[in-house]
Structure 1
Amino acid sequence: MKRLTLTQLKNICLSIRESIELNKSKTNLFKEFPQGCCRDASLIVGIILKKMGAIELVYCRRDFDLHYKSHAWLEYNSFIIDITADQFDTTIPNVIVSRTPIMPFHQKQHEEPLTFSIAGMDAIDLLKDMEIIEGALSPKFSS
């Protein structure tokens, strides 16, 4: 079982974020990225990280309440991994990989093992988008 380091996680997440930003016009689910894309972005990041050996990923989410909109992110080896947090505030880093919650909305209410079934009815579109995004990744990060 391979453990990815903080530096490796950040570099991989930055590369995925860049690939999404450069290719969002070609996708079905990421046209408004990062707005409203936290679930799908988390799934893509998680699937790519799993291919790289990070199998202990947990999908986390917080539901809408009076203080925060709903949000989703990943946790791995006690790291919070979030490539869409800046959708709420542009002063937030666009890629978060941290052992400490940077934002209050990272106080999870729900967690579950990372599986593709989380995508629900969007699974086919997500698979198509993932091919585009993963295909555009730097060769050192593609599986």
Structure 2
Amino acid sequence: MTKETLAHFLLQSLPFFERMRESGLPFMSRFPLSSCEPSSAIVAVALAKRFPESEIVVVKAYSSNGVSGHFWVEIDGFVVDATAHQFDGFSGPIVQKMPSPLESTFPFMHRMSIEAAMLGMSEIDYSPGLVKMLGSELLEEVESRTRVAG
């Protein structure tokens, strides 16, 4: 796994998420704002399908006062954050070696399996089946873009 491979994947994912603004799904209408939980779960599912041998977790992180939070994906020692650009100081999504640059803002972290992240999504009206379907659609779109570009 390389940073370049993941960065390419994430770059090719952006049009999918930008279209999700019109989907009517909760928390996606203002992507990247307030959409880190569903975006991270969908990215994690797509990455797991694309890289089945990789170790992937979804990180749920909180600020020191516990008021605000953020989600991102960790895969094989890299941070993949599709919505980092909702925060000051970031012009786009990030892919970099761990740790996340947002750990100083959100120092209390819980790492969970993709399955646990999908189950947690039911609290915001996303069934695990819907997250899996969206992850599959994202992967199909990224692979299609890659084939056309190649």
Fold agreement, TM-score > 0.5:
yes
Out of 49-58 and 115-124, give the one that drifted further: 115-124
Structure-1 separation of matches of 2:141 and 2:56: 23
After superposition, give the CA deviation of every residue in 1:37-72 in whole Å (9 maximum; x if it has no partner): 111100111111111124310111112443872001
Count of residue pairs the alignment pairs up = 138
The 3-state SS of whatever aligns with 1:43 is helix
Question: Which runs of structure 2 are paired with 1:1-143 in the superposition (5 Å)?
Answer: 4-29=1-26, 30-54=28-52, 55-66=54-65, 69-89=68-88, 91-99=89-97, 100-103=99-102, 104-105=104-105, 107-115=107-115, 116-120=118-122, 121-123=125-127, 126=131, 130=135, 133=138, 136-137=141-142, 139-140=144-145
Structure-2 separation of matches of 1:67 and 1:92: 22
Structure-1 separation of matches of 2:144 and 2:3: 20
TM-score, with length taken from structure 2 = 0.75
The 3-state SS of whatever aligns with 1:44 is helix
Q: Which has the higher contact order (CA 8 A, sep 6+)?
A: 1
Structure with the higher helix share, 1 or 2? 2
Structure-2 separation of matches of 1:97 and 1:108: 20
Amino acid at match of 1:76: I
CA contact (8 A) 2:62 2:106 kept: no
Tell me how far 1:80 sits from its aligned partner: 1.0
Question: Unaligned regions of 5+ residues in structure 1, if any?
Answer: none
Structure-1 separation of matches of 2:77 and 2:132: 27
Structure-1 separation of matches of 2:93 and 2:146: 16
RMSD: 2.7
